[in-house]
Structure 1
Amino acid sequence: MTVFDDEHPGVANLDPDLLRALRDAATAAADDGVEFFVNSGWRSPAYQDRLLRQAVSDHGSAAEAARWVATADRSAHVAGKAVDIGPAEARAWLSERGAEYGLCQIYRNEPWHYELRPEAIAHGCPAMYPDPTHDPRTRH
């Protein structure tokens, strides 16, 4: 889906400021021949729980899974404040120009995961966390 697919809950339930920034950036990127796709946006708590259970199964432990998937009560996706963007060309465009729109990669190990940081427009994106286990918002 694209950032303009309002009928999809993964887009429609995003934070309005995040969605506005994504749409502004996607419009500018389209002028450069780059299209943004939302691989994952807003998630229900039940879906986030399923992703976490799958990550535990895939990675062998809750500690390792936490490097990739937050609990539902700590997930920026469940709060509508995060979006996973593809394809690689879109991520490269955001890597180069996302701060102009306040869109920043948050985790070094997740080049697809972007969140809104309005202060980035004036100051650039903050340093990335190595992975979600280093983010104080995701710790219990």
Structure 2
Amino acid sequence: MVRKIIFPEAKEHELISAGKDFFARDLLLEKNTYKAWLELKQAATDDGISLFIVSGFRSYEYQQKIIDRKLANGQTLEEIIRVNALPGESEHHTGRAIDLTTGDEKEVLTEDFEKTYAFEWLVKNAHKYGFKLSFPCNNDYGFIYEPWHWCYHNEKC
């Protein structure tokens, strides 16, 4: 049975500008997530690992626009929801989820990320900064495996 989860959208006052993402777009994160990200990124850098955020906060409205665009381009809803959560079911609108890249992969947001030293480092260390891999293989939520998708849970393990 697939578990469905609905996450509340972050309020504007809970978000902070975190600079630019990997594609030079404005990046917003929940305040505590941003602080934890800076600590995680510095620790990774100290260990010779480069990490960049591809995506952070995405509003319900923005998520709906992604789906609408894909539908207009001929994709079926079934195809879309294999890789995109419906608005309300994504962690991105919480401001606590980040999609990561090293900048060295041929394409971002693919399973190839799991073959990087960065992924290996994250598996061993991300929990120290409160981040968890949200969608491992065969997860209970029915989402595809997303080795690039990490979410801050406000607890350091």
- The alignment's TM-score, normalised by the length of structure 2, stands at 0.61
Comparing 32-41 with 67-76, greater Cα deviation is found at 67-76
Indicate how the Cα distance of structure 1 residues 29 and 110 shifts in structure 2: closer, same or farther if over 3 A, else same: same
Give SS of 1:67's match: helix
Give SS of 2:94's match: coil
**Do the aligned residues in 2 keep the contact of 1:49 with 1:71 (CA within 8 Å)?**
yes
Amino acid in the other structure paired with 1:105:
L
**Do the aligned residues in 2 keep the contact of 1:55 with 1:68 (CA within 8 Å)?**
no
Structure with greater proportional strand content: 2
Q: By how many angstroms is 1:22 displaced?
A: 1.1
> Aligned partners of 1:58, 1:90: CA distance in 2, in Å?
34
> Aligned partners of 1:41, 1:86: CA distance in 2, in Å?
12
Structure with greater proportional helix content: 1
Q: Give the alignment partner of residue 7 of structure 1, picking from 11, 16, 19.
A: 19
Structure 2 spans left out of the alignment, 5+ residues: 1-16, 103-115, 137-144
Deviations 1:56-81 (A, max 9, x none): 57894323422321223332212212
Structure 1 residue runs of 4+, over 4 Å off?
A: 54-60
Percent identity between matched residues is 28
Instruction: Spell out the pairing of 1:1-140 with structure 2 (5 A cutoff).
Output: 6-8=18-20, 10-11=26-27, 13-54=28-69, 60-87=75-102, 88-108=116-136, 109-119=145-155, 121-122=156-157
The root-mean-square deviation of aligned C-alpha atoms, in Å, is 2.6
- The alignment's TM-score, normalised by the length of structure 1, stands at 0.68
Which structure has the higher relative contact order (CA within 8 Å, separation 6+)? 2
